[in-house]
């Protein structure tokens, strides 16, 4: 087995220097800094709730933010869905809408909608199930849209866009959200 001479010198240097740091009595001890969870008004955009820190560096995204991401992507797509030269940009927009859909589905029904719309536990459970079903339906239609755009089928893509508008309206009506 061959050992790299440079690695050997570095390893010996680290081993030789390590005891010196432990022998210094004058070295100040530093207490570890505790991780502080962000509060509701830290970070984020003005007027929007902050994302809360999660284990592993993940961030929790608000349902409202996810829905806005879907809407922004679909509005941009609606303007350019028939333009074959914007295929790659359209696929990126579709991916952004899919990501927003999955995030909203994972976050669950917004608490304010749940509290306004339902009075008993069974109604709340049914409303939460309907919310999830509508988002799954939306995600499926977004996948159909992606396949149409990727294949260059502009007519199918436009039909998928119209279906997505209907699904959105159905979902908003079911949740008691009237635009």
Q: Which domains are assigned to the chain?
A: 59-175 (1.20.120.10)
3-state secondary structure at position 55: helix
Which residue in the block uniquely carries the two structure tokens 């579709």? Answer: 94
CB atoms within 10 A of CB 133: 13
d(CA 179, CA 169): 9
Q: What is the torsion angle, in degrees rounded to the nearest 10, for the CA atoms of residue 99, residue 105, residue 108 and residue 112?
A: 70
What are the start-end ranges of the E strands in 30-133?
none
pTM over 0.85: no
- Report the chain's terminal Cα–Cα distance, integer Å: 72
pLDDT of residue 34: 44
What is the tens place of the pLDDT at every residue in 87-134?
999 999 999 999 999 998 888 887 777 777 667 777 778 888 888 899
- Find out whether 100 and 162 touch, Cβ atoms under 8 Å: no
Residue 60's pLDDT band (cuts 50, 70, 90): low
Q: Round the average pLDDT of the chain to a whole number and report it.
A: 74
162: its two tokens: 């119209």
Return left, alpha or beta for 33; rule: phi > 0 is left, psi -120 to 50 is alpha, else beta: beta
Give phi and psi for 46, each to the nearest 5: -60, 135
């Amino acid at each position: 087995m061959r050992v790299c001479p440079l690695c050997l010198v570095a390893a010996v240097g680290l081993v030789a220097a390590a005891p010196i740091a432990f022998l210094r009595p004058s070295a100040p001890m530093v207490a570890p800094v505790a991780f502080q969870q962000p509060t509701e008004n830290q970070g984020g955009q003005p007027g929007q709730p902050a994302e809360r820190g999660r284990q592993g560096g993940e961030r929790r995204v608000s349902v409202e933010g996810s829905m806005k991401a879907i809407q922004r992507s679909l509005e941009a797509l609606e303007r350019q869905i028939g333009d074959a030269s914007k295929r790659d940009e359209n696929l990126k927009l579709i991916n952004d809408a899919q990501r927003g859909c999955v995030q909203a589905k994972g976050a669950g029904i917004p608490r304010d909608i749940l509290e306004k719309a339902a009075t008993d536990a069974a109604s709340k459970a049914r409303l939460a199930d309907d919310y999830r079903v509508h988002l799954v339906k939306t995600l499926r239609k977004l996948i159909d849209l992606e396949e149409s755009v990727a294949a260059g089928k502009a007519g199918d893509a436009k039909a998928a866009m119209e279906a997505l508008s209907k699904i959105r309206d159905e979902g908003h009506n079911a949740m008691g959200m009237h635009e």
